[in-house]
Amino acid sequence: MKEGDRLMINVAIIGYGTLGKGVQQAISKQNDMELFGVFTKRDPKSLDAQGADVYAYEHILDYKNDIDVLIHCGSSEFDLPTQTPELVKNFNIVDSYDQHAIIAKHIDAVGINAMDKTAIVSVGWDPGFFSMTKTVLDAILPDGETQGFFGPGISQGPSNVASSIEGVKVARNYSFPNEDNLKKFKNFEPIDVSENTSKICYVVLEEGADKEKVTEDIMNIEHYFKGSNTEIKFISKETMEREHSEWPQGGRIVRIAKTSDAIKHVIEVSIDLDSNPEFTAANLVAYARACVKMNQRSITGVYTALDVRPSDLSSKSRAQLIEEML
């Protein structure tokens, strides 16, 4: 774990889709991290991980003494609810669980098993980076309201879950902000918050699949599509590859508030991303560092982005941060 006088963190990735590849890229830009390898449920010999070692997920416990922290890049729908609680028995771990309505349930499930290890869950930009932003703004300006406006761009979690539906070859779910709502909100006018964001889900069907059944199944996915303002559009594989192969995304958090009766404030924090998964991955890698630092200080259990001190995210010393950031 040490290289000379410098802390070197051995990181392992679970899963090697778009998010896992983004984590590998992010690790390559760190001066205090090394990639131990990638764990997969696929045949390790079939996976080209750009030179990284690849291991079978079923043998992960064989390497528990070699890995400082796991970054789990699996699905919030199918992998993280069961695997993060199990893995934290033996590993420090970070995940990107994103089902907002039941994050508290996930925290409880992980916390039961996090005895001498540290877990930081629901890391990314929403939840994660935007969660911190909302918390800070709410604390500084308590007499106010915060709203999120997402897009334009592709939402990774909903896209992956829609792609898992029977009859779907691949899906991409786009979010679009309601600019009229945004303008009204910033002018302190009332809005229907359920209309802040609309969605279009582009779907390539498997041969012989029923469009109506696929539409119904997607729209009934809890925590992602059910009750949402979503339009399903069916397109060809060629159109998907030509027009929807990238993963851009954007979003804005807006706080409107008063500090006295006649004094109004509007604070807007926005992101404009070429790659949703690569930005999510960059967040995961920073929190993996924090996870190891916290565990070294015997801070064990389960945490979220709201619980982590900013300096733990950085590879820089406290003196450097004070000089450069204050």
Prediction pTM value: 0.93
Q: 241 and 268: one domain? A: yes
229 within a domain of the structure (yes/no): yes
80 within a domain of the structure (yes/no): yes
Which of 258, 276, 294 represents a domain boundary (last residue)?
276
- Count of structural domains, the chain: 2
Q: 71 and 147: one domain? A: no
Q: 33 and 113: one domain? A: yes
Q: 59 and 116: one domain? A: yes
326 within a domain of the structure (yes/no): no
Mean pLDDT over 46-51 rounds to 91
Spatial separation of the C-alpha atoms in residues 183 and 188, rounded to whole Å: 9
Percentage above 90 pLDDT, the chain: 95
251 within a domain of the structure (yes/no): yes
CATH number at residue 233: 3.30.360.10
Q: With helix as H, strand as E and coil as C, how does 109-157 read?
A: HHHHHCCCCEEECCCCECCEHHHHHHHHHHHHCCCEEEEEEECCEEEHH
Q: 134 and 258: one domain? A: yes
Q: Tell me how many degrees the CA angle 89-90-93 measures, rounded to the nearest 5.
A: 85
307 within a domain of the structure (yes/no): yes
Domain span at residue 46 reads: 2-126+277-320
Q: 150 and 49: one domain? A: no
What per-residue confidence (pLDDT) applies to 223?
86
Q: 252 and 281: one domain? A: no
Q: 92 and 177: one domain? A: no
φ, ψ of residue 117 to 5 degrees: the values are: -115, 170
Residue 1 — very low, low, confident or very high, per pLDDT cuts 50/70/90? low
167 within a domain of the structure (yes/no): yes
Mean pLDDT over 175-182 rounds to 96
Q: 206 and 173: one domain? A: yes
Mean pLDDT over 232-247 rounds to 96
Spatial separation of the C-alpha atoms in residues 54 and 45, rounded to whole Å: 8
Mean pLDDT over 54-64 rounds to 97
